[in-house]
Structure 1
Amino acid sequence: MVSAASRPAAKPALRKTTVGVVASAMLALTLAFSGTATADELDDRKAAIEAEQQKTQETYEYLDAETSRKVAELAVYQQQLPGAQQSLTDAEGRVSTAAGKVGALTDRVALAQETRNTITSQIASDQEAMDDTQDVIGQIAAQAYKSGGVPSSFSLILGAEGAESLTDSMGLAEQVMRSQNAAMQKLSEQSATNLNSEARLAAVEEEISSLKVQAEAALKVEQEARDAAAAEKAKVDTLIEQTAAANAALEARKPIVQAQLASLETAKAKANADIAERQREQLEKARKEEEARVAEANRQAAAEAARANRPAPAPQVPSTTPTNPSAFGLRMPVNAPISSGFGWRGVPAGTIDFYGNGGYLHSGVDFAAQCGTPVYAPAGGNVWKAIPASNQSEMIGAGNYVVLDHGVIGRSALATNYYHLTSYVVSQGQYVNAGQLIGYVGTTGNSTGCHLHFETILNGAAVNPMGLL
């Protein structure tokens, strides 16, 4: 392909047209990109951010709504940026291909125009030669007319005066005839050449017309490719700006989030410590009761042996093995799928470091239930806490929440927690049976969507509820 630097000077008009069209298209595109042309894309992105925010809120239970929104935006922008950059690369490739085709067609048009100029020049030259030949023929005819015409052989014989005169006359006539015939032959050949050149010229003109049509089509394709590339470039630039803005916003919110987490950490630690201490006391009481029961059983066995005058049996020993938690017979507290499971959560991009831990434990499971869905006690127990969302001193971000104490079975103590309730229908100290209504799913506290956060605390530690249900 001929490079732009080596193309003939006749082509810039085509290129100028392309640049002018592209410049106009770029202006129109810039206006369109920020207007209704991208409405669907903006709606899709908004939906993606909202879905990501819901996921973020479920994953990072206690991030406030504003922070989780920025985390979601950053995640969506980062997800979309590689695809947008690849689309830009692809669009730029199409521009290069289209521009190459325009360049090739431009070269072909220039070559055809050069051929046309050559043929046109040749036709003019041939026409000039034909005019000269016709002048020669005219001169011969004029001279013959002045001499009374070219004499025939018979008249030459009759009019001759001796052999020498006859010979001269015949030689002159032959010479005239040869000149005239040669001139006529040359004129015929020039005429044929001229006709052939005109046919070639017509073919070249048709080729130029066809190439111009192709060039215009190629220019249109190039324009569309450049418009598309400009649109992709605008998307990439916008995503980069939005990513930087979201990251900056999260950086600015770090102190706020860290302060919130510090308060949360304190409240969570106190709540867990309260449950752990309560369960420790319950287990200790149960241990002592078990030891007392075993000691009493051993005493009675020894007394019975003494009365029967036989050796005392080996004393019983209290069990120290924790009871299988399945003994509590937990059932599902709500009929809904799980949207977020129990386990470790890494640091959300660009936000907080969780005090250098790199993440935190999502200490329960989230059930994706609609607000107002009934929540039932998974097993019998006492209502240890029923706290309104307005009481932030108890558990920041938990909203309306309830804690059930299911007591001790063997060497295991169990409690269950229910967060973000719309409302609860139990009161502290009340005993509830398995399957009894305790409240309704909601989105109070740090929550961006209706769900139930459900925890199981076994022997002072949060465990995966799915291992007990």
Structure 2
Amino acid sequence: MVSAQPAARPVLRKTTAGVVASAVLALTLAFSGTASADELDDRKAAIEAEQQKVQETYEYLDAETSRKVAELAIYQQQLPGAQQALADAEGRVSAAAGKVSALTDRVALAQETRNTIAAQIQQDQAAMDDTEEVIGQIAAQAYKSGGVPSSFSLMLGADGADSLTDSMGLAEQVLRNQNAAMQQLSQQNATNVNSEARLAAVEEEISNLKAQAEAALVLEQEARDSAAAEKAKVDALIEQTAAANAALEARKPVIQAQLASLETAKAKATADIAERQRALLEKARKEEEARIAEANRRAAEEAARNNRPAPVAEVPSVTPTNPSAFGLSHPVQASISSGFGWRATPPGSIDFFGTGGYLHSGIDFAASCGTPVYAPAAGQVYRADQGQPDGMIGTGNRVVLDHGVIGNSALATNYYHLTSFVVSVNQWVNAGQLIGYVGTTGNSTGCHLHFETVLNGALVDPMGLL
């Protein structure tokens, strides 16, 4: 048993780590002025998760490019939310400013009411002073005349009926004036007390309104600060989206050339397997024809000895064997994170192939690095390398098993991104035998096993054989 070449992995790991570290540093610097540490951590995690999706979509895209694609996708995803947050913040500014304006108007109205009440109190106080002066004059006059005489004294002191009538009339007038003045004073005093109570209430209202207005001003400023921060985020996202898009557009020709080269290499690798399978199928066909010819010859000899017509066995028609006849088991114990089939290019991202998507030619098992990988069926090791013979450098450490021919079908299985392998070319392995360990070598952003099946020269969905 042979393990993978030990010198290649440290170099690859160092290169990948350097690219990712540079990308993370650039991302951190880009957002350091507009986002908190938690937001940066969340965004970093989102980009890493998106990068894994990108790597699944564009299977052999290099780590730096896949991260740029992921950044662009995340920026585009976050921009609408940031714009909505900015709109919400601007709405809060408008609401806060409206509240401040309303409170200012209420304070002005309350102050106007206070001034009106204060003026009324001064007016009432002046009226009370006048009334008190009248009462004082009445009292002084009564004192000078010995007080207001009683009805009996008026009768004794009168010289006649006319004199009595005049005296009594004068006394009643004095009393009426005095009572009216006292009543007026009492009413003015009550009005004044009520006005002072109203003034105290208005003063308290003004104090409360001013406190509310000051608090509203603080909230308005906070809303304006928040809006400014949200606008900075939106501006940064727009700038970073444009920069990421421009960078990818600038690199698009180079990336397309790289991917075209990888597609060519992948097609060659599959064609090599297909040619091997064609030869195996041809060999199996000839062996079957030879077996039938030999059976016919022996049957003819037997018929001649027994003097009867010889039966002729016909070559069976060529129909594909049911794939389940190979009896594949799962090569690793893990859930499937990505299936076989067409992957549409995400809206707004770079369509590197110009076809609107990409064929994910296998399935990905979400297994951690170091998880054992077992042969799903018996077969011969066709490849155990790092993809160099076919130019498939994006596969990292890989193993290809040739499971031979059953009936009219030939099957091979591919295992990519291994940490290491423990088999060698041309070695025979049995079903369930250890062949390597899950890793993240080659163009991979996380530990997983990429598993492919080649049936009769064509890549097919492994789920139809497992």
TM-score (ref. length: structure 1): 0.82
Residue type at the aligned position of 1:434? A
Corresponding residue SS for 1:397: helix
C-alpha distance in structure 2 between counterparts of 1:297 and 1:72, whole Å? 63
Q: For residue 10 of structure 2, what is the aligned residue in structure 1?
A: none
Residue equivalent to 1:245: 243
What is the one-letter code of the residue matched to 2:370?
A: G
Question: Relative to 1, partners in 2 of residues 1:393 and 1:352: Cα closer, same or farther, differing over 3 Å?
Answer: farther
2:415 equivalent to 1:418 = yes
The match for 1:5 is: none
Matched, 1:326 2:310: no
Deviations 1:105-134 (A, max 9, x none): 444333332222221111111111122222
Query: Could you say which residue in structure 2 is the equivalent of 1:340?
Result: 338
| 2:12 paired residue number | none
Query: Is the 8 Å Cα contact of residues 69 and 350 (structure 2) preserved in structure 1?
Result: no
Equivalent AA in structure 2 for residue 257 of structure 1: I
- On the 8 A contact 2:56/2:360 being kept in 1, the answer is no
Larger CA deviation: 196-205 vs 403-412:
196-205
Q: 195-204 or 261-270, which moves further after superposition?
A: 195-204
Corresponding position of 2:367:
369
Instruction: Work out whether 1:433 is the aligned partner of 2:430.
Output: yes
**Equivalents in 2 of 1:55, 1:99: separation in Å?**
45
Residue of 380, 397, 400 corresponding to 1:400: 397
Structure 1: unaligned runs, 5 residues or longer: 1-32
Matched to 2:106, the amino acid is R
Q: Kindly provide the amino acid, as one letter, of the partner of residue 366 in structure 2.
A: A
Provide the rounded CA distance (Å) in 1 between the counterparts of 2:291 and 2:178.
151
Note the C-alpha offset of 1:209.
3.3
Q: Cα gap change, 1:77/1:397 in structure 2, threshold over 3 Å: closer, same or farther?
A: same
Check whether the contact 1:257–1:352 (CA below 8 A) recurs between aligned residues: no
Q: CA deviation at 1:279?
A: 1.4
Q: Which residue of 1 aligns with 2:17?
A: none
Contact 2:340–2:362 (8 Å) recurs in 1: yes
CA separation of 1:404 and 1:369: change in aligned 2, threshold 3 A: same
Give the Cα separation in 2 of the matches to 1:349 and 1:62.
20
Please show how residues 43-122 of structure 1 align to structure 2 within 5 Å.
Answer: 43-122=41-120
Q: Quick one: which amino acid aligns to residue 287 of structure 2?
A: E
CA distance in 2 between counterparts of 1:351 and 1:251 reads 10
Partner of 1:279: 277
Shift of 1:348: 4.5
Q: Is 1:291–1:318's contact at 8 Å kept on the other side of the alignment?
A: no
1:467 aligns with 2:464: yes
Closer/same/farther in 2, CA of residues 320 and 356 from structure 1, 3 Å limit = same
Q: Choose the corresponding residue for 2:454, options 442, 453, 457.
A: 457
Question: Is the contact between residue 453 and residue 459 of structure 2 (CA under 8 Å) also seen in structure 1?
Answer: yes
CA distance in 2, matches of 1:290, 1:262: 41
Equivalence for 2:305: 307
Segment drifting more, 85-94 vs 416-425 = 85-94
Secondary structure at the aligned position of 1:312 is classed as coil
Q: Partner residue of 1:443? A: 440
Structure 2 counterpart of 1:112, one-letter code: A
Equivalences for residues 194-205 of structure 1 within 5 A: 194-205=192-203
For 2:258 and 2:45, how far apart are their aligned partners in 1?
28
Q: CA deviation at 1:327?
A: 2.3
Residues 433, 34 of structure 1: alpha-carbon distance in 2 compared, 3 angstrom cutoff:
closer
- Summarize deviations over 1:365-389 as a string: whole Å, max 9, x none: 1222222222222222222222236
Specify every segment of 5 or more residues in structure 2 that has no aligned partner in the other structure, as ranges.
1-30
Aligned counterpart in structure 2 of residue 127 of structure 1, from 122, 125, 132: 125
Amino acid aligned to 1:455: E
Q: List per-residue Cα deviations over 1:281-321 (Å, max 9, x = no partner).
A: 22122222222222232233233223322233244223311
**Could you state the TM-score of these two structures normalised by the residue count of structure 2?**
0.83
User: How far apart, in 2, do the equivalents of 1:194 and 1:406 lie?
Assistant: 110
Closer/same/farther in 2, CA of residues 372 and 184 from structure 1, 3 Å limit: closer
* Paired residues for 1:143-162 under 5 Å: 143-145=141-143
Question: Which residue pairs with 2:356 in the alignment?
Answer: 358
Aligned length: 436
Residues in 2 aligned to 1:241 and 1:356: alpha-carbon distance in whole angstroms: 26
Residues 363 and 455 of structure 1 are in contact (CA less than 8 Å); yes or no, is this contact kept in structure 2? yes
Return the offset for 1:69.
0.7
Residues 179 and 370 of structure 1: CA distance in aligned 2, closer, same or farther (over 3 Å): closer
Q: Quick check: 1:50–1:72 contact (8 Å CA) kept in 2?
A: yes
The residue type paired with residue 236 of structure 2 is: T
Partner SS, residue 393 of structure 2: coil
Q: Aligned equivalents of 2:326 and 2:61: distance in 1?
A: 33
Alpha-carbon distance in structure 1 between the residues aligned to 2:341 and 2:41:
33
Q: Classify 1:36/1:233 alpha carbon distance in 2 versus 1 (closer, same or farther; 3 Å).
A: closer
Contact persistence 2:35–2:233 (CA under 8 A): no
